[in-house]
């Protein structure tokens, strides 16, 4: 089994889409480990704020099979591919890490570079995996969070429960 960390985000019917996406994941993986949920301003465009969290799970699926499943869950929630990079999303699920793999695996860049760019990714990741090492930098996520200056990024806690 490989430990995988996923980022979840939505700014369209946010709570419904995140709960529904988590329900779909829970049909295939158990247990799911959820970070706290955060609300953040849209990045790169004007739009409604996002809800974001990180989910940890263990899987025997390949990266390709997992990515295919995640794309299907996104599509079932109204996500269409080919959208602008910075746009509103019904549901956005990205593989952040897949074990300690580094590089392009089955077309997926690992670890995802957004981990180090966005507070809405690194903060919830550090919440549930503070001592886990970033596969390239070999530093714990809590340390990486402490070293980053995300003061320009709006991020606040959001009261969310699931299931």
CA atoms within 13 A on the CB side of 100: 9
Instruction: Evaluate if residue 79 carries a pLDDT over 80.
Output: no
The pLDDT tens digits for 81-123 are 556 555 678 899 999 999 999 999 898 999 999 999 999 999 9
Instruction: Evaluate if residue 42 carries a pLDDT over 90.
Output: no
What the block records as the tokens of 140 is: 């714990």
Instruction: Evaluate if residue 134 carries a pLDDT over 90.
Output: yes
pLDDT at residue number 131: 98
| pLDDT band at 80; cut points 50, 70, 90 | low
pLDDT at residue number 8: 96
pLDDT at residue number 22: 97
pLDDT at residue number 97: 98
Q: What percentage of the chain reaches a pLDDT higher than 70? A: 93
136 burial type by CB count under 10 A (0-12 exposed, 13-18 middle, 19+ buried): middle
Report how far apart, in Å, the C-alpha atoms of 95 and of each of 52, 98, 118, 159 are.
14, 7, 15, 24
Domains and their CATH numbers in the chain: 2-112 (3.30.70.560)
């Amino acid at each position: 089994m490989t430990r995988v960390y996923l980022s979840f985000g939505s700014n369209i019917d946010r709570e419904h889409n995140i709960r529904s996406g988590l329900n779909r994941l829970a049909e295939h993986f158990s247990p799911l480990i959820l970070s706290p949920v955060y609300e953040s301003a849209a990045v790169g465009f004007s739009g409604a704020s996002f809800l974001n969290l990180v989910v940890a799970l263990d899987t025997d699926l390949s990266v390709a099979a997992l990515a295919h499943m995640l794309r299907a869950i996104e599509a079932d929630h109204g996500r269409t591919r080919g959208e602008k990079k910075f746009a509103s999303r019904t549901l956005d699920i990205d593989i952040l890490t897949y074990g300690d793999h580094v590089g392009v695996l089955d077309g997926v860049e690992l670890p995802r570079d957004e981990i180090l760019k966005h507070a809405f990714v690194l903060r919830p990741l550090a919440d549930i995996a503070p001592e886990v090492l970033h596969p390239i930098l070999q530093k714990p996520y809590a340390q990486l969070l402490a070293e980053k200056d995300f003061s320009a990024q709006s991020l606040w806690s959001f009261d969310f429960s699931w299931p």
